């Protein structure tokens, strides 16, 4: 079964909009795991506009499933991850002022850079994943970096799902097949939702994990957090 890792950035965004500690990022992480979530994802950015450095350290002892920290590997990010030692680090090439992640790595262009960073994380026993656009030609270079997994950047799939889901998913399927040939595990994330997740999960081979935040937290406003987590788990179930 594909694991559900819940990105709690939006919980932190709500908290930071008002100040104080409500809603609580740590309580949300604990509850999500109680409700069946199989991982917690965070993406601490340099400006701390949602997840803060304090959150990262506060969450570490509370995440009993799988802790996944995403981010652009600036030195301060690398140092923090090496200190916290999550189960997984996902490398994302987003600009500091990006509203959200908006592109995957050019693994051919940044091969040496990524190889050096990934070697540090792997030496510390941290599984590594590279955020990647659905481009099969970049998979070989992702494998050459020494990464364990790729995370497919799924915005284009989500955007085109209602228009032509078969066409929308084809480059993702092709990239996943190529990744499997090179022994890379496959994660996915960005704009996946209750509406489009099942088709993606049923179609993509070797899909190990999805990271979902914005849609899940938004849907929880109407459905409640426990019901929403359970609904996502049902979408991922293989019957």
Q: For all residues of the chain together, what is the average pLDDT?
A: 95
Annotated binding site for 3-amino-2-oxopropyl phosphate: 7, 18, 191, 213-214
Nearest-10 Cα torsion for 14, 16, 22, 26: 90
Classify residue 79 as exposed, middle or buried by CB count within 10 Å of its CB (0-12, 13-18, 19+).
exposed
Q: Which of 43, 66, 151, 209 is catalytic?
A: 43
**Exposure on the CB side of residue 190, measured as CA atoms within 13 A:** 21
124-148 per-position pLDDT tens digit = 999 999 999 999 999 999 999 999 9
Q: Which residues are annotated as a binding site?
A: 7, 18, 45, 50, 100, 191, 213-214
- Per-residue confidence band for 238, with pLDDT thresholds at 50, 70 and 90: confident
Confidence of residue 96 (pLDDT cuts 50, 70, 90): low
Predicted local distance difference test score (pLDDT) of residue 100: 56
What is the predicted pLDDT for the residue at 23? 97
pLDDT of residue 74: 94
Annotated binding-site positions for 1-deoxy-D-xylulose 5-phosphate: 45, 50, 100
| CA distances (Å), origin 207, targets 8, 65, 108, 157, 163 | 21, 18, 23, 15, 23
What percentage of the chain reaches a pLDDT higher than 70? Answer: 96
Marked catalytic residue, from 66, 151, 178, 190 = 190
Global pTM value: 0.95
The count of structural domains within the chain is: 1
Reply yes or no on whether 190 is catalytic: yes
The whole-number pLDDT of residue 103 equals 81
Q: Is 120 a catalytic residue?
A: no
Mean pLDDT of 44-68: 96
Does the pLDDT at position 229 exceed 90? yes
What pLDDT is recorded for position 2?
Answer: 97
pLDDT band at 189 (very low <50, low <70, confident <90, very high): very high
Query: Among the options 70, 151, 209, 219, which is catalytic?
Result: 70
Interhelix angle 225-236/25-34, nearest 10 degrees: 50
Integer Cα distance of 125 and 195 in angstroms:
36
- For the cut 90, the answer to whether the pLDDT of residue 102 exceeds it is no
Expressed as residue numbers, the domain containing 37 is 3-236
CATH number of the domain residue 46 falls in: 3.20.20.70
Confidence of residue 76 (pLDDT cuts 50, 70, 90): very high
Tell me, what's the pLDDT at 179?
98
């Amino acid at each position: 079964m594909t694991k559900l890792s819940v990105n709690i950035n939006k919980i932190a965004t709500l908290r930071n909009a008002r100040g104080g500690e409500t809603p609580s990022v740590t309580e949300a992480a604990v509850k999500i795991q109680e409700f069946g979530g199989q991982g917690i994802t965070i993406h601490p950015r340099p400006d701390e506009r949602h997840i803060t450095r304090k959150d990262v350290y506060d969450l570490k002892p509370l995440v009993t499933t799988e802790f996944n920290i995403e981010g652009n590997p600036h030195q301060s990010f690398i140092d923090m991850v090496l200190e916290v030692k999550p189960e997984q680090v996902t490398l994302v090439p987003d600009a500091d002022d990006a509203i959200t992640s908006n592109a995957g790595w050019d693994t051919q262009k940044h091969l040496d850079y990524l190889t050096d960073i990934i070697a540090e994380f792997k030496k510390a026993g941290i599984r590594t994943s590279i955020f990647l656009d659905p481009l099969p030609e970049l998979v070989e270079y992702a494998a050459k970096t020494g990464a364990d997994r790729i995370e497919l950047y799924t915005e284009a799939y989500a955007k085109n799902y209602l228009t032509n889901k078969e066409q929308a998913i084809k480059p993702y399927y092709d990239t996943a097949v190529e990744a499997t040939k090179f022994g890379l595990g496959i994660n996915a994330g960005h704009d996946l939702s209750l509406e489009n997740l099942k088709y993606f999960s049923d179609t993509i081979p070797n899909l190990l994990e999805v990271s979902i935040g914005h849609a899940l937290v938004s849907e929880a406003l109407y459905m409640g957090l426990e019901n929403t987590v359970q609904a996502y788990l049902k979408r991922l179930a293989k019957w």
